[in-house]
Structure 1
């Protein structure tokens, strides 16, 4: 049986998502309009949405997002 490779994360999920969103937006800024640029901007928006959902899940009382 194969063993799973486990990694200890050194940064929080929120930090990793913020870094990835910033990286995607920076790379998209250097590209001409096109498919690759749109995919990078979409990934950045998804990362930002994931940050909001993660913050909502960690909030006390789990209030609905506004």
Structure 2
């Protein structure tokens, strides 16, 4: 079976940063509650993942010895 594939137009880090920004904008319009906390958690997770992706791509990263 052949899978449908598509090429990403932006880097993973860029997409994650945009996702975090959109989640934070959505939080501003929600009252305090579980839905708001879920969006904040999603934004934090996207930020952390973007930082990890940046760290993994850094030229100073050395393989284990």
Which TM-score band (shorter chain)?
A: 0.7 to 0.9
Structure 1 residue runs without a partner (length 5+): none
User: Structure 1 CA distance, aligned partners of 2:43 and 2:2?
Assistant: 33
Give the number of aligned pairs: 62
Instruction: Determine if the alignment matches structure 1 residue 14 to structure 2 residue 13.
Output: yes
Which aligned segments of 4 or more residues in structure 1 are displaced greater than 3 angstroms? none
Residue 50 of structure 1 deviates from its aligned partner by 0.4
The 3-state SS of whatever aligns with 1:6 is coil
Cα RMSD after superposing both structures: 1.2
Structure 2 residue runs without a partner (length 5+): none
Higher relative contact order (CA 8 A, sep 6+): 2
Give the match for residue 23 of structure 1.
Answer: 22
